């Protein structure tokens, strides 16, 4: 007979005598946003983790049903995953373009790839930097942000914004890339690759960091697929699946790059270190793609001929793209009018977070911080 | 509880007078001798705050404050002024007496250790025969202060931090003490001033390099004393709660650990206590293994005043090393921390003690 | 496998539980009975020729004919084919059998559908609101949702 207290967790599970419920509350020093983790602890060991979200719910889906135009949804889509706005915009624009059954000019495709990959590097830099801070290493965070500033300079040059761009529109782009962008981007690629090596020397192969992240939060491949994890979470578990290669969109099939997969180098396959190293290596691959795309941009117009009021035929479509966090899906239903009937955003961070209670049973509190950091959530996306 | 403290505070001057009269010295001398390390700590804290700010900034590829004074030299003064005039909040459900007393206890534990450290051949606060043992013992008061702050804050996270910190400090006192024991074995005395005199004469006589013994014994001893010195430094990192052992203090889910609910002057005392502790353990390591106030060049640049310079230089070198490590390494998890102490440091130290004992006895 | 073959296999095994279908749409969909979704999805996941092991998205829709529906987009990582399932239910008594035992990810998606659209998922292990506060009145994504005047003493429309 197990002794229980009259205290219950929010799921109704009664606590045993030696257990304690503690809140890693909505405001954390870890820079992950407003996520509340209700942790049931037995000393230092985590018995159960119950994530609570909704603190950043901004009703993206309801808003999109009241827009007067399909283009007006783009700024809202930006603000979902605010660290990877370009990828969000592209996902939604792609969905509407497929509903409209139009092709965009080739110059647009190349620029979209360049922007998306630059954005991927910027987002992974934040993921890697904040993961270092979670582990107590304060310096890589600042080095990553210094490099990210260069990318933000490129974006500011193009569309004027540093974080939320409203750049990739349905049917094209809002502005063409300015003169000097190609050279500056090439200079950035050259500058950035040695910095990854510096980061690896400082953080990645550091014994203490490896000890804190290897064999922690092991996510087996079949559990990952059952929980529909995607992006570095899935690839860290050894499953080689990347939407840019396996369900291609844009002009990704014209470039040569590798899909990085975790190999269990430092511990078990699918641990936090594997997910982390997948992100670091993906940055290198993104630089490769950017260099190839910069060398091959065709000339042309950046806006296809679209009417001011976009009216797709009645129908529905689900389109998925690979954002830095995983598979971002947009399910757009159109009823033939200028307003979308239903836009559902399938956010990768939301889905990846659901597996957290599975993989964090039996770990310690410090490991919980490591696991949450390795999932790489952005609350804007989790809550929409 | 409040009455006991009030009575104790009232009894101290009476005690002081009676003790002084007993020993035949005017109490003024004692006050001056006791206040000198405090003045040193205050000045040193300002310098270390500036150093930490600039070292961290340059490691992180940025400049720190540049506007307050030339390149920010007045920033520590600004920080202290800010902390002093801040509102001192006490949580409503906190245990008030313990909450107020805790930072002072932590500071006292550290400050009392300064009494036994020789700053030069002419100045040591108290020339104790059992100086080393006294320092180890009195720095354990810090544990009590930290536990008090964690408990009295009425905050589950502070309690966590305090518990972890207590476990960590207590565990790492053992490797510290064993490492100090090696130095005591070689010099044959626990009196810090005598240990210093033992290492007089230049860098070759420092205990880290085997001590002033015949060359054969020195070469045999050197690997063991170097290992012991290294372990003492790492254990002292854990004693002062610095990264990579700062789990109780700055874990990303513990806000500030046991410091969470403190603000204003009490936080300033905790802050100062941490810096004082850093210098204390650096000073002990410098005195025991690196010749203390002795000049590395033998008789060149040596003397009572030069002694202060060399001692402070060596102490500040270790403090700089601690600051450098903080901004480079991630932190260890609490069970890994315990593992390092009990399963790595202790076996190494036992081997060192055995080896040093055997070598010395031949 | 083509959508027609998938439909044939489903019809062969579940008969009347498979309602209508629209295979000539850009993304062909099959409508299933709301009280048999779990069995059908187990079949889809476990049959060797189908192996739909990845639930890409589970959305709730408030249709024009006033019915609520749940749309399942599934994909097979091994066979590389996709299919869309839909389950319609009446507005007033919206019950659909939960598929959270088939795909672990459906757990949170169904909670969101319950929160936003008010569809109750039978046999769900822990059906609570996920994004809105627990005591929020109404289901926001319904087309006839009226923003409450006051919520916990705060005036909502500004």
Q: Which domains does chain A have, with CATH numbers?
A: 70-369 (1.10.645.10)
**Quick one: pLDDT at residue A361?**
85
B134: pLDDT strictly greater than 80: yes
B254: pLDDT strictly greater than 70: no
* Digit-coded pLDDT (tens) for A330-353: 999 998 888 999 999 999 999 999
CB-nearest partner of A133 from B252, B329, B333? B252
Cβ A209 vs Cβ A363: under 8 Å? no
Interface chains of chain A (3 or more CB pairs under 8 Å)? B, C
A280: pLDDT strictly greater than 90: yes
A125: pLDDT strictly greater than 90: yes
Percent of all residues in chain A with a pLDDT value above 90, rounded to a whole number: 38
Q: What is the mean pLDDT of each run of 10 residues along chain C (158 residues)?
A: 84 84 86 89 87 90 88 90 90 89 90 91 88 87 86 83
Judge B/A contact: 3 or more CB pairs < 8 A. Answer: yes
CATH of domain C3-155: 3.30.460.80
φ and ψ of C139, to 5 deg? -120, 110
B86: pLDDT strictly greater than 70: yes
CB-nearest partner of A136 from B56, B157, B330? B330
Q: Cα–Cα distance between B56 and A143 in angstroms, integer?
A: 12
Its pTM stands at 0.89
Do strands A342-346 and A168-169 pair parallel, antiparallel, or not at all (unpaired)? unpaired
Instruction: Give the residue from A229, A207, A204 showing the smallest Cα distance to A218.
Output: A229
Gap between the terminal Cα atoms of chain B:
57
Residue with tokens 């999109």: A64
Q: Cα–Cα distance between B282 and B304 in angstroms, integer?
A: 20
Q: Cα–Cα distance between A360 and B252 in angstroms, integer?
A: 17
**Quick one: pLDDT at residue A12?**
74
For B39, other C-beta atoms within 10 Å of its C-beta total: 9
Over chain C, what is the mean pLDDT? 88
* Digit-coded pLDDT (tens) for A43-78: 778 888 888 888 889 889 998 888 888 888 999 998
Q: What is the ipTM of this complex?
A: 0.92
**Quick one: pLDDT at residue C134?**
85
Helix count and strand count (H, E) for chain B: 14, 0
| Segment holding C14, helix H or strand E | helix C3-14
Q: Cα–Cα distance between A120 and A286 in angstroms, integer?
A: 7
Q: Cα–Cα distance between A287 and B166 in angstroms, integer?
A: 47
Over chain A, what is the mean pLDDT? 88
- What confidence tier does A1 reach under pLDDT thresholds 50, 70, 90? very low
CB contact under 8 Å between C131 and A53, yes or no, is yes
Strand partners, A326: A323
DSSP string, A299-315: P--SB----SS--PPSE
* Digit-coded pLDDT (tens) for C67-94: 899 999 999 988 888 899 999 999 888 8
Over chain B, what is the mean pLDDT? 84
φ and ψ of B44, to 5 deg? -65, -35
Interface test with C, best of A54, A261, A350 (most C CBs within 10 A): A54
A13: pLDDT strictly greater than 60: yes
The domains of chain B are located at 86-360
φ and ψ of C97, to 5 deg? -70, 135
* Digit-coded pLDDT (tens) for A139-193: 899 999 999 999 999 999 998 989 998 999 988 888 888 989 999 999 999 999 9
Cβ C33 vs Cβ C88: under 8 Å? no
Judge C/B contact: 3 or more CB pairs < 8 A. Answer: no
Interface test with A, best of C41, C54, C76, C114 (most A CBs within 10 A): C54
Cβ A61 vs Cβ A345: under 8 Å? yes
Cβ A39 vs Cβ A55: under 8 Å? no
Q: Collect all residues of chain C within an 8 Å Cβ-Cβ radius of residue A59.
A: 140
């Amino acid at each position: 007979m197990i002794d229980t207290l009259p205290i219950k967790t929010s799921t109704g599970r009664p606590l045993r005598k030696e257990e304690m419920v503690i809140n890693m509350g909505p405001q954390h020093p870890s820079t992950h946003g407003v996520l509340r983790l209700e942790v049931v602890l037995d000393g230092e060991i985590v018995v159960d983790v119950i994530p609570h979200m909704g603190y950043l719910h901004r009703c993206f889906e309801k808003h999109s049903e009241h827009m007067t135009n399909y283009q007006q949804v783009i700024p809202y889509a930006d603000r979902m995953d605010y660290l990877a706005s370009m990828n969000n915009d592209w996902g939604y624009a792609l969905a509407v373009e497929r509903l409209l059954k139009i092709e965009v000019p080739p110059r647009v495709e190349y620029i979209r790839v360049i922007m998306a990959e630059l954005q991927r590097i910027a987002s992974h830099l934040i993921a890697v930097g904040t993961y270092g801070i979670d582990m107590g290493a304060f310096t890589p965070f600042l080095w990553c942000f210094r490099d990210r500033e260069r990318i933000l300079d490129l974006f500011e040059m193009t569309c004027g914004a540093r974080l939320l761009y409203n750049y990739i529109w349905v049917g094209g782009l809002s502005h063409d890339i300015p003169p000097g962008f190609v050279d500056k981007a090439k200079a950035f690629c050259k500058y950035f690759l040695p910095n990854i090596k510096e980061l690896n020397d400082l953080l990645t192969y550091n014994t203490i960091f490896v000890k804190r992240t290897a064999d922690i939060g092991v996510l087996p491949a079949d559990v990952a697929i059952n929980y529909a994890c995607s992006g570095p979470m899935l690839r860290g578990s050894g499953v080689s699946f990347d939407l840019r290669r396996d369900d291609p969109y844009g002009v990704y099939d014209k470039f040569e790059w590798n899909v990085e997969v975790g190999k269990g180098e430092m511990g078990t396959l699918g641990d936090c270190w594997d997910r982390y190293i997948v992100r670091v290596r993906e940055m290198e691959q993104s630089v490769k793609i950017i260099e190839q795309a910069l060398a091959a941009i065709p000339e042309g117009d950046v806006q296809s001929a679209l009417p001011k009021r976009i009216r797709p035929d009645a129908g529905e479509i689900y389109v998925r793209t690979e954002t830095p966090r995983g598979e971002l899906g947009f399910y757009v239903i159109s009823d033939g009018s200028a307003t979308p009937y239903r836009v559902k955003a399938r956010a990768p961070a939301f889905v990846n977070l659901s597996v957290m209670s599975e993989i964090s049973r039996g770990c310690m509190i410090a490991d919980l911080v490591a696991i949450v950091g390795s999932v790489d959530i952005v609350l804007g996306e989790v809550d929409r | 509880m409040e009455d006991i403290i009030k009575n104790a505070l009232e009894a101290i001057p009476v005690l002081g007078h009676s003790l002084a009269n007993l020993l035949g010295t005017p109490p003024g001398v004692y006050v001056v001798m006791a206040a000198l390390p405090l003045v040193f700590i205050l000045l040193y804290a300002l310098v270390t705050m500036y150093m930490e700010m600039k070292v961290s900034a340059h490691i992180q590829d940025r400049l720190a404050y540049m506007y307050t004074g030339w390149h920010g030299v007045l920033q520590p003064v600004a920080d202290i002024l800010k902390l002093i005039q801040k509102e001192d909040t006490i949580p409503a459900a906190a245990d008030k007496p313990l909450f107020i007393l805790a930072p002072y206890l932590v500071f006292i534990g550290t400050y009392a250790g300064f009494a036994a450290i020789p700053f030069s051949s002419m100045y040591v606060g108290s020339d104790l025969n059992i100086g080393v043992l006294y320092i180890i013992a009195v720095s354990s008061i810090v544990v009590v202060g930290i536990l008090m702050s964690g408990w009295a804050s009425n905050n589950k996270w502070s309690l966590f931090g305090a518990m972890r910190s207590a476990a960590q400090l207590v565990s790492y006192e053992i490797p510290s003490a064993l490492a100090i024991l090696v130095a005591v074995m070689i010099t044959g005395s626990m009196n810090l001033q005598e240990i210093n005199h033992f290492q007089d004469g230049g860098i070759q006589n420092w205990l880290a390099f085997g001590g002033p013994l015949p060359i054969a014994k020195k070469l045999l001893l050197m690997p063991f004393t170097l290992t012991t010195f290294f372990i003492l430094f790492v254990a002292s990192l854990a004693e002062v709660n610095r990264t990579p052992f700062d789990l109780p203090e700055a874990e990303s889910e513990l806000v500030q650990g046991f410091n969470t609910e403190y603000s204003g002057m009490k936080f300033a005392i905790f802050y100062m206590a941490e810096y004082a502790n850093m210098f204390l353990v650096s000073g002990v390591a410098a005195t025991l293994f690196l010749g203390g106030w002795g000049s590395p060049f033998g008789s060149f640049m040596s003397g009572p005043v030069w002694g202060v310079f060399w001692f402070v230089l060596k102490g500040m070198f270790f403090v700089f090393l601690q600051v450098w490590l903080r901004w480079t390494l991630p932190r260890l998890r609490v069970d890994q921390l315990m593992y390092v102490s009990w399963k790595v440091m202790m076996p190494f130290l036992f081997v060192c003690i055995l080896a040093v004992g055997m070598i010395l006895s031949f | 496998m083509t959508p027609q073959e998938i439909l044939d296999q489903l019809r062969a095994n579940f008969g009347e539980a498979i309602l209508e279908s629209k295979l000539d749409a850009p993304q062909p969909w099959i409508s299933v009975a709301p009280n048999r979704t779990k069995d059908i999805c187990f079949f889809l996941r476990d049959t060797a020729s189908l192996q739909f092991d990845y639930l890409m998205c589970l959305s709730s829709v408030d249709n024009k004919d006033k019915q609520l529906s749940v749309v399942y987009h599934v994909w097979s990582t091994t066979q590389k084919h996709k299919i869309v399932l839909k389950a319609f239910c009446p507005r007033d008594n919206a019950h659909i059998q939960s598929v959270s035992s088939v795909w672990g990810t459906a757990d949170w998606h169904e909670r969101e559908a319950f929160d936003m659209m008010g569809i109750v998922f039978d046999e769900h292990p822990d059906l609570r609101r996920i994004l809105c506060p627990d005591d929020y009145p109404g289901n926001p994504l319904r087309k006839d949702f009226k923003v409450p005047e006051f919520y916990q003493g705060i005036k909502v429309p500004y």
